[in-house]
Structure 1
């Protein structure tokens, strides 16, 4: 274990309430820090621009534009995120460190060419009526943000979470400063600040990564990650489907009767977007527990189990390690459930005050409550998927993510037909079903773990 895992275990080893709290806070900052900085940065830009940007609708256009850049870049790059993660992990496990950096460069070039071509086509044919400078900035923003996700995948594979958080802090500080300084130029000024800050963010991560992971390979660039030997189609589909599943209900609300056109082809749904935004802030405790347990208890017991298998330990010792791993996985999921249940109860009790503090009508309270439930279940689902990926059960993960997309699309469509009183229940209902299925499959997989470890491995 490296990076954040060492830090978390060092804090937990002190065995005191203060050390446990420190580990929890550290895990929360690392796991949700980029999310918090992103949200607060965009909101801060909007607040600073009030009274400067005229008309105020330009601020809304900026925030909607940024939301689309983030959402579509996540979905598009989702197809290669897990594929790249698996390639890096396998090369590091085999001690082939010199092959990592050239393939990172190849992945970045591929991402730039693909997203750049797609963005240029959309800018030319889909954004009639917008200024040329706005289109250029959207293209640049889309390419930069897409590359940021690839760089994050690289650093996360190396457990460099602190570097990711520090880069986001620097990048969003620049974003806010430049956007505020250029806000007098309207939408284009705000977008220029966003692009400049994210370029700095990407440059910071890339610089640290290249400094710490210089390659002994003479090649500057390689594309082995796309070699048939290393391509796992299931991982390509999992990354694409999971990100699509997370955003599908938002897309449907944006382009349904609840949505309104904001700029160019971009729509937004005021009814749906605000509660969802607040709900995702409420999953920070669950994300902290998820990272804390995944990087300590479960990861250690997982490594111990497979080390026992590889080293030919006795059957009783292997079973003991297997039981420790199962307990670690179940305890981690149970703690996510407990902490998010507490958060959900607090939102149910004080949600109206939260909405008032955010300047949002209390009429959104029913939707906020169901969105918090859905977001909490999403963390639990993510925990299950990560355990399956640790166990290399790619087929199960693919089936679960495909089920998630199908259920979210179908149930969200039903709620749109039924009316406002059911909004949000489609996303929540889809997650309830897939979490139950995932837990069932996880228990079944643990029961068959020893058999599958020995009898189903490739010769």
Structure 2
């Protein structure tokens, strides 16, 4: 579903420096909208609530935001992955009218999952009073729905409405906080929900403009997609890999009780979240450049395989795919390594400028370095999804989870010096496995297309050909 990626790629190539800047800006918002919205909310609340609210209310808001964002990402990941694959399959077959129905089905499943998660977290574990519980659950649900809408935006061809949607949400929250100045935590949560609701409404309107057919409830589509279990596991393990070390450090010696049974680790949470924001340039590069180039190369190979090309032409097309993978992997790693080096050197100044806890320097540095390898794993996973090898994607992110959890557990007693180290080692391990799996699959790609991954030959149940 790289439609908008091609549009931004054309903008960057045809409009000079202005086009490059515009493509980068829009690409960052489209690929990382929820991250940018949450980062803005965290930074705004971090500065505003400290002076305008009691410490207990400040902790309630920050904890609610952190849990709503992280848990919504995990809850929606398997649903979004399956829905995206269903929509892309329908688009490939020319059935554009099916996209709104897939989106509606995904939104309804996500809403149900989010309400259950919100009840367990904010109602039972945190023991919030009813109004705060309802608002925190609503915030999680809106985040979840935005996570679902995000991938569908990649199938559209208009980027301006998406940029306006996220800007409107952030602008409404910021304006309300500084102009209306709500004092109670319920009012602030309601303000955040209002901004999220405005963003979601505008995002759905953007999708509806390109896909205007009437949506219907189709819960049976999940069972109609081959490999749905592997698809869901790929999305779930991908999301858990990002958060596993943060969750474990919520119970480390330096953590603290926040709301009832909910715990946080403020030093690591701030540092790791800031470090993860360095992923945005890499995600933008993948959306605008690397995925579009790979899509063209892979599409040319498939045209050769389904047409009348001889074996030599097919092999040349396969080599072109391998060349594109190597070139774009090098480009991604160089770009992200420069950003990581920038963060490593200037971490003290970044922490000071944002008025964060200075003990987070270690976490910021190691997380920014881990992002380099995390992005490699993401790019390789995208390639494997083109190859229809979702079992291998599950293996990549399972390695990330296992290594990250083991390292975090081992170094949890090291205190602030160990923050971010589990994430870094997990990302390195996942990237290594991902590159090896992509290389092995690309070398025998022609065989996979005709035999090893061909449903007509091996059936529907293969996960690891």
TM-score, scaled to structure 1? 0.91
* Partner Cα distance (1:189, 1:236) in 2: 36
| Structure 1 residues 88 and 330, CA gap change in structure 2 (3 angstroms) | same
Name the residue aligned to 2:66: 67
Unaligned runs of 5+ in 2: 457-465
Tell me if 1:81 matches 2:77. Answer: no
Q: Is the 8 A contact 2:362 2:419 kept in 1?
A: no
Residues 141-170 of structure 1 show CA distances to partners (whole Å, capped at 9, x for unaligned) of 222221221122322344665543332111
* Partner Cα distance (1:282, 1:207) in 2: 29
SS at 2:3 equivalent: coil
* Partner Cα distance (1:411, 1:447) in 2: 33
Q: Is the 8 A contact 1:111 1:147 kept in 2?
A: yes
* Partner Cα distance (1:315, 1:210) in 2: 43
Residues 39-85 of structure 1 show CA distances to partners (whole Å, capped at 9, x for unaligned) of 123322443344332x1442232122111101101111112111101
Unaligned runs of 5+ in 1: none
Name the residue aligned to 2:12: 11
1:292: how far off?
2.8
1:451: how far off?
1.4
* Partner Cα distance (1:348, 1:208) in 2: 39
Q: Which shifted more, 108-117 or 234-243?
A: 108-117
Name the residue aligned to 1:127: 126
Cα RMSD for the two superposed structures: 2.4
Q: Is the 8 A contact 2:5 2:287 kept in 1?
A: no
Q: Is the 8 A contact 2:74 2:240 kept in 1?
A: yes
Tell me if 1:35 matches 2:35. Answer: yes
Tell me if 1:148 matches 2:149. Answer: no
Name the residue aligned to 2:203: 205
Q: Is the 8 A contact 1:8 1:292 kept in 2?
A: yes
Q: Is the 8 A contact 1:151 1:205 kept in 2?
A: yes
* Partner Cα distance (2:76, 2:339) in 1: 31
Correspondence for 1:380 among 364, 376, 400: 376
Name the residue aligned to 1:422: 418
Name the residue aligned to 1:317: 313
Q: Is the 8 A contact 1:183 1:189 kept in 2?
A: no
1:241: how far off?
0.9
Correspondence for 1:261 among 229, 247, 257: 257
**Size of the alignment, in residue pairs?**
454
* Partner Cα distance (1:243, 1:251) in 2: 12
Q: Which shifted more, 315-324 or 296-305?
A: 315-324
Name the residue aligned to 1:280: 276
| Structure 1 residues 260 and 160, CA gap change in structure 2 (3 angstroms) | farther
Name the residue aligned to 1:91: 90
| Structure 1 residues 118 and 340, CA gap change in structure 2 (3 angstroms) | closer
Name the residue aligned to 1:136: 134
Alignment of 1:4-403 (within 5 A): 4-13=5-14, 20=20, 23-53=23-53, 55-128=54-127, 130-158=128-156, 162-180=160-178, 183-215=181-213, 220-230=216-226, 232-403=228-399
SS at 1:267 equivalent: strand
TM-score, scaled to structure 2? 0.90
